[in-house]
Amino acid sequence: MALKVLIPTWWKWVDLWDITKYLNKALVKIGKKPSISYIIESYPSDTEFIITTWYYGSQVKDFLKIVYPENNITVVDVDVYDWPGSSILYSMSKAKPYLQSPFIYHACDTVVLDKIDFKDSNWIGWFKWEWSSNYAWFNVTWKEVDKIYDKWIIDPDYIHIWLVKINDFENFWNIVDSLLKNNNETLNDISVINSMIRNWSGFSLNVFEKWYDTGNVDWLNKARREIHDSFHILDKLEESIYIYDDFVVKFFYDKSLSEKRVERARLLKWLVPNIEWHENNFFRYEFAEWKLYSRTANPQNFKDFFIWSKENLWKESNEVSQEEFKKVCHNFYHKKSIERIDKFLNNHNLVDESNIINWEHVPSIKELFEKVDFDWLCSSKQTFFHWDYILDNILQTENWFSLLDWRQDFGWLLQSWDMYYDLSKLNHNLTVNHDLVNADLFTIEKNWNSVNLDINRRENLVQCQNSLHKMIIENWFDLKKVKILTAIIWLNMSPLHHHPFDKFLFYFWKLNLWRAINENN
């Protein structure tokens, strides 16, 4: 008989703050994958999984369908969540019809790296940790559990990690049925286990050397630091990415964004990985064993990349009239920028004023924008586009490139955008990138109205940027337009980032816009 595992994912978890505002807790990313993947993949392939869900339950269902289509998984909806009658035990009881044999109860925020024991007996998983007063704990006599206690005990010997083998399943469900008659909202598996112990159903110990509670922010961050397959990507609350051996899965809280990304992939064809599967908020595409261009770019191959982009990506595409296209560009470059400026100034209680930045007098934002010819800035040809054209979103083979994380639209346009925005994104990324920000390789010193900025850039990327500028000029593109749009990109980034990087970006864009305005073509 196949092993059965119960994984509850039904509740909303406040300990993760905004992280679970848009996402079911079981889908919170740890390393390359969410916690539920680490759980499922720790069991044999023929395991039968019973998963209870309610909060963002459709996300769990779609994720399992797209990632584990061959696994034996049954999803059970919990009909009572946050009103009288709800409890952890009640949610477990909804899985009773599917668990009429020995099973393991594995909480969706319990990740263990040790091998799980499938022996034919009742056991409780435990972990020893010095800061454990927030966890249920238990006493042990002769290697068997006496009783599980609630939280707030300093330095107990054993803490309950919500990983339990129920061998006496009939006894377990009889006690569950009896306890639920009291309609107690605090009931959980501890209530049942203690009752089973009193009725002579013993529980042995199963020690785990590596355990992470991913339902706690501090422990989640610890898991992300320590789990060996971790990778760095700037996390966003409303979207996520999961990487598996043969495919990649993207999640968007807004289902329309997922749908538009899939549609744009169809338009971009072989420039992006092949979309294998799409389910509402998720889509899955092929994983390519290629190298990130951010790790291989150099002045020698950058020219090939530029030519490839020009010939394959930035092809003419007249989706709307040129007049309508100019309006879309103006809304993005001007209107959106004004909104972001107001947001930054309000967030920091600042007024629009001139500054001395790196010993240069830089006018107020109002004066700067009056000097920008937005009609000229928005007068570009319509082409196909990527939108977030940075080196980390590009894969390189020996003589080819593939594009990742393409934008779903521009305004409401799917096919047409301004090639200059892609060029400006490249220019931005060769100046400011994730590696630089993560290593704090920037400084800002502000004394009243005087600001000093500095940034430590890799020489290789400086040379790539020189190559980019040279090819822009050689191909009769407008370098001044690229530099102005690059400054506008930094402007729009500034209110969205952490302190002090947000202030660095704010004064950095002012300085660079001023320099670009005054620069001759």
Mean pLDDT, rounded, for 105-118: 89
Query: Mutual orientation of helices 419-429 and 479-493 as an angle, nearest 10°?
Result: 70
* Non-local CB neighbours of 198 within 8 Å, separated by 6+ positions: none
* Residue 459 confidence (pLDDT): 94
Give CA–CA dist 406/476, Å, rounded: 26
**Final residue belonging to a domain, choices 226, 254, 274:** 226
Cα distances from 355 to residues 167, 205, 340, in angstroms, run 72, 66, 19
Distance CA 135, CA 151 (A): 5
Whether 361 is in a domain gets the answer yes
The predicted pLDDT at position 15 comes to 63
- Calculate the average pLDDT of the chain: 89
Name the nearest CA neighbour of 230 among 238, 239, 217, 220. 220
Is residue 50 located within the same domain as residue 89? yes
Asked whether 111 and 39 are in contact (CB, 8 A), the reply is yes
User: Which pLDDT score is estimated for 157?
Assistant: 67
The verdict on 142 and 214 lying in the same domain is: yes
Q: Which domain holds residue 70?
A: 4-226
Convert the pLDDT of each residue in 325-341 to its tens digit.
Answer: 999 999 999 999 999 99
Considering the domain architecture, whether residues 270 and 308 belong to the same structural domain is answered as no
Q: How confident is the model at residue 81 (pLDDT cuts 50, 70, 90)?
A: low
327 contact partners, CB below 8 Å, separation of at least 6: none
Place of tokens 């916690």: 35
User: Per-residue pLDDT tens for 26-59?
Assistant: 999 988 999 999 999 999 999 999 999 988 999 9
Residues 269 and 415 in one domain: no
pLDDT, residue 280, reads 97
The answer to whether residue 232 is domain-embedded is: no
At 130, the pLDDT band (50, 70, 90 cuts) reads low
Angle (deg, nearest 10), helices 419-429 and 459-474? 160
Instruction: Read off the pLDDT of each residue in 359-363 and give the average, rounded to a whole number.
Output: 97
Report d(CA 184, CA 297) in Å as an integer.
62
What is the rounded distance in angstroms from the CA atom of residue 26 to the CA atom of residue 229? 18
For residue 389, tell me if it sits in a domain. yes
Residue 237 is predicted with a pLDDT of 79
Q: Examine the domain organization and report whether 355 and 445 are in the same domain.
A: yes
Q: Say whether pLDDT at 83 is over 60.
A: no
- On whether the CB atoms of residues 187 and 194 are closer than 8 A, the answer is no
Question: Do residue 310 and residue 274 come from a single domain?
Answer: no
Check whether residue 283 and residue 310 sit in a common domain.
Answer: no
Do residues 290 and 248 lie in contact, with contact meaning Cβ atoms separated by under 8 Å? no
**92 and 136, same domain (yes or no):** yes
One domain for residues 400 and 424: yes
Residue 26 CB neighbour total at 10 angstroms: 29
CA distance linking residue 254 with residue 258, whole number of Å: 7
Is 234 contained in some domain?
A: no
Domain end (from 271, 287, 303): 287
Task: Write down the pLDDT at residue 13.
Answer: 58
Q: Is the pLDDT of residue 67 over 80?
A: yes
Is 323 within the bounds of a domain? yes
- Interacting residues of 400 by C-beta distance below 8 A, sequence separation 6+: 308
Does residue 461 lie in a domain region?
yes
- Side-by-side strand order, sheet with 291-292: 291-292, 394-396, 401-403
Nearest to 101 by CA among 218, 248, 199, 3: 3
% of the chain exceeding 90 in pLDDT: 64
Residue range 474-479: mean pLDDT, rounded: 96
**pLDDT tens-digit series, residues 167-212:** 999 999 999 998 888 766 557 788 888 889 888 888 888 888 888 9
Residue 358 has pLDDT above 80, yes or no: yes
First CA to last CA distance, the chain: 76
DSSP 254: S
In terms of pLDDT, which residue wins out, 386 or 184? 386
pLDDT for 182: 72
Domain assignment present for 241: no
Residues in contact with 269: Cβ distance below 8 Å, sequence separation at least 6, in sequence order: none
pLDDT band at 467 (very low <50, low <70, confident <90, very high): very high
Residue 65 has pLDDT above 90, yes or no: yes
Distant-in-sequence, close-in-space partners of 318: CB < 8 Å, separation ≥ 6: 382, 416
Same domain, 295 and 266: no
Q: Give Cβ neighbours of residue 107 (< 8 Å, ≥ 6 apart).
A: 7, 8, 161, 162, 163, 215
Same domain, 375 and 471: yes
Q: What is the pTM of this model?
A: 0.86
CA atoms lying within 13 Å on the CB side of residue 28: 29
d(CA 434, CA 461): 13
Q: Which of 101-105, 116-120, 503-507 has the lowest mean pLDDT?
A: 116-120
Is there a cis peptide before residue 8, judged by omega within 30 degrees of 0? no
- Residues 263-273 have a mean pLDDT of 94
- Dist. CA 358–CA 355, nearest whole Å: 9
Burial class (CB in 10 A: 0-12, 13-18, 19+), 382: buried
Q: With beta carbons less than 8 A apart as the criterion, state whether 513 and 377 touch.
A: no
Q: What is the pLDDT of residues 403-457, one digit of tens each?
A: 999 999 887 889 999 999 999 999 999 999 988 888 899 999 999 899 999 999 9
What does the pLDDT read at residue 500?
93
In this predicted model, what pLDDT tens digit does every residue of 158-173 receive, in sequence order? 788 889 999 999 999 9
For 486, the enclosing helix (H) or strand (E) is helix 479-493
Residue 143: both structure tokens together: 């290697």
In this structure, the answer to whether residues 317 and 455 fall within a common structural domain is: yes
Cβ contacts of 169 within 8 Å, gap of 6 or more: 99, 100, 101, 102, 103
- 275-279 β-sheet, strand order: 239-243, 247-252, 282-286, 275-279
Q: Is residue 47 part of a domain?
A: yes
Q: How many domains does the chain have?
A: 3
Are the C-beta atoms of 203 and 124 separated by less than 8 Å?
yes
Phi-psi region of 501 (alpha: psi -120 to 50; beta: other; left: phi over 0): alpha
SS3 229: coil
Q: What is the rounded CA–CA span in Å between residue 250 and residue 258?
A: 8
Residue 211: give its domain's CATH number: 3.90.550.10
Q: At 464, which CATH number?
A: 3.90.1200
The two structure tokens encoding residue 304: 């090939």
pLDDT band with cut points at 50, 70 and 90 for residue 235: low
Coil vs helix vs strand at 203: coil
Structure tokens given for 243: 């990487």
* Domain end residue (candidates: 191, 226, 261): 226
